[in-house]
Copies of this chain bind each other. A is one copy, B any other.
Amino acid sequence: MAISPSFLPAAAAITLAVDCMGGDHGPRITLPACRAFLERHPEASLRLVGLPEALKDFSHPRAVIVPATEVVAMDDPIEIALRKKKDSSMRVAIQQVKDGSAQAAVSAGNTGALMAIARYLLKTLEGIDRPAIAPQLPNSKGGATTVLDLGANVDCDAEDLLQFAVLGSALVSALTGNESPTVGLLNVGEEAIKGSETIKKASQLLRVAAKSKDLNFYGNVEGNDIFKGTTDIVVCDGFVGNVTLKATEGVAAMIVDFLRFEYSNGLFSKFAAIVSYPVLKALKKRLDHRRYNGAALLGLRGLVFKSHGSADEVAFGYALDRAYDAARNNLLDRVRARIAHAAPLLARAESAAPVDATSLPV
């Protein structure tokens, strides 16, 4: 994996706030993942947020239990999560970041609610209209491609795409140490002439940004370039990003199902499966979405990471590690510095367009 967050020699003392109630499984997986995290990182601390009854058996010298009286359900509408459950574990965890008690928050809860609450409590950074969700996807180079936006913003204009490029560059530089990661604009062809009006305009903005050294803009890329690893970052609107991510998960699942079926189909195939075990195990590891769990919510005045709702202990641990790496490598400062440098380009009314919160994925 290309992500090698240990490039900064000195690790600062970092505290993460964890929404222990979020996700499909809640404390049953978040608590063991937190314990393992504390063992992996002897200098880190956690603030574990949740119903006291659910967390009462957990104790660790570097963990503090922070009580919350409510839980945002995976299918709660945004309005309920935001307006009615004002003492939810999700909200209290983000409040820890706002108060400065934690450097980042992690939740496996409802994405739409998480984005809405994070945006409400933390606010967007100056120059950023819409926060974005930026996960990493595995690529053929053995590394990861950061794709954003993945689900938060279904209607984006060219300026939003430019902002996503700035935010994604800061994230990748914080996670990998590469100060000039390449940015590709997802399009239907590599030629600058192709694409929708929005994409053509975004391409122009990105070329201007590249000239002023705000970005390392590679040019247009196509869907397959995400997995070739042509660029470190791929920028697209949240609709395209969400559909593409789910479609590629669908293809991978189809292939794995097919291999499983074929290898269990007759005695000879079963024998082949046994001798192929190391290869199939390596494939499974390569395609294991758990390793890529933990997407940054970028563009806010604080760090929030979203774990997949169905994450198991291993996957949730990856999300915790990613938040930890981002925090100790000063992601927020990097985002601010990049935005400041790109300020003339990003000059546009802040928060002009409200996020259509009902369109967020869960």
Question: Is A52 part of the binding interface, using a Cβ–Cβ cutoff of 8 Å?
Answer: no
CB-based contact A275/B272 at 8 Å: yes
Of A187, A188, A199, most buried by chain B (CB within 10 Å of CB) is A188
User: Which residues A167-193 have CB closer than 8 A to chain B?
Assistant: 186-189, 193
Question: Is A252 part of the binding interface, using a Cβ–Cβ cutoff of 8 Å?
Answer: yes
Question: Is A276 part of the binding interface, using a Cβ–Cβ cutoff of 8 Å?
Answer: yes
Contact with B along A260-282 (1 / 0, CB 8 A): 00110000110111011011001
Nearest CB to that of A359 among chain B residues? B194
Shortest C-beta distance, A116 to chain B (Å), equals 14
Question: Is A347 part of the binding interface, using a Cβ–Cβ cutoff of 8 Å?
Answer: no
CB-based contact B275/A250 at 8 Å: no
Nearest CB to that of A243 among chain B residues? B223
Question: Is A286 part of the binding interface, using a Cβ–Cβ cutoff of 8 Å?
Answer: yes
CB-based contact A225/B250 at 8 Å: yes
Question: Given A188-B242, A259-B283, A359-B196, is A250 in contact with B228 using a C-beta cutoff of 8 Å?
Answer: yes
Question: Given A250-B226, A359-B188, is A282 in contact with B255 using a C-beta cutoff of 8 Å?
Answer: no
Contact with B along A319-362 (1 / 0, CB 8 A): 00000000000000000000000000000000000000011011
- Cα A254 to Cα B155 with chains together (Å): 30
Question: Is A58 part of the binding interface, using a Cβ–Cβ cutoff of 8 Å?
Answer: no
- Cα A173 to Cα B213 with chains together (Å): 54
- Please give, as numbers and ranges, the residues of chain B lying within 8 Å of A250 by CB-CB distance: 223-228, 248
- Cα A212 to Cα B189 with chains together (Å): 39
Question: Is A238 part of the binding interface, using a Cβ–Cβ cutoff of 8 Å?
Answer: yes
Shortest C-beta distance, A248 to chain B (Å), equals 4
Question: Is A36 part of the binding interface, using a Cβ–Cβ cutoff of 8 Å?
Answer: no
Nearest CB to that of A256 among chain B residues? B255
- Cα A251 to Cα B32 with chains together (Å): 32
CB-based contact B188/A257 at 8 Å: no
Question: Given A227-B254, A250-B224, A250-B227, is A196 in contact with B239 using a C-beta cutoff of 8 Å?
Answer: yes
Cross-interface CB contact of A251 among B248, B278, B283, cutoff 8 Å: B248
- Please give, as numbers and ranges, the residues of chain B lying within 8 Å of A362 by CB-CB distance: 189
Interchain Cβ contacts under 8 Å between A and B, 14 examples = A140-B253, A154-B188, A154-B195, A154-B199, A188-B359, A193-B358, A193-B359, A222-B246, A223-B247, A225-B250, A227-B250, A243-B244, A259-B283, A263-B279
Q: Which residues of A contact B (CB under 8 A)?
A: 138-140, 151, 154-155, 186-189, 193-197, 199, 222-228, 236, 238-240, 242-255, 257-259, 262-263, 268-269, 271-273, 275-276, 278-279, 282-283, 286-287, 358-359, 361-362
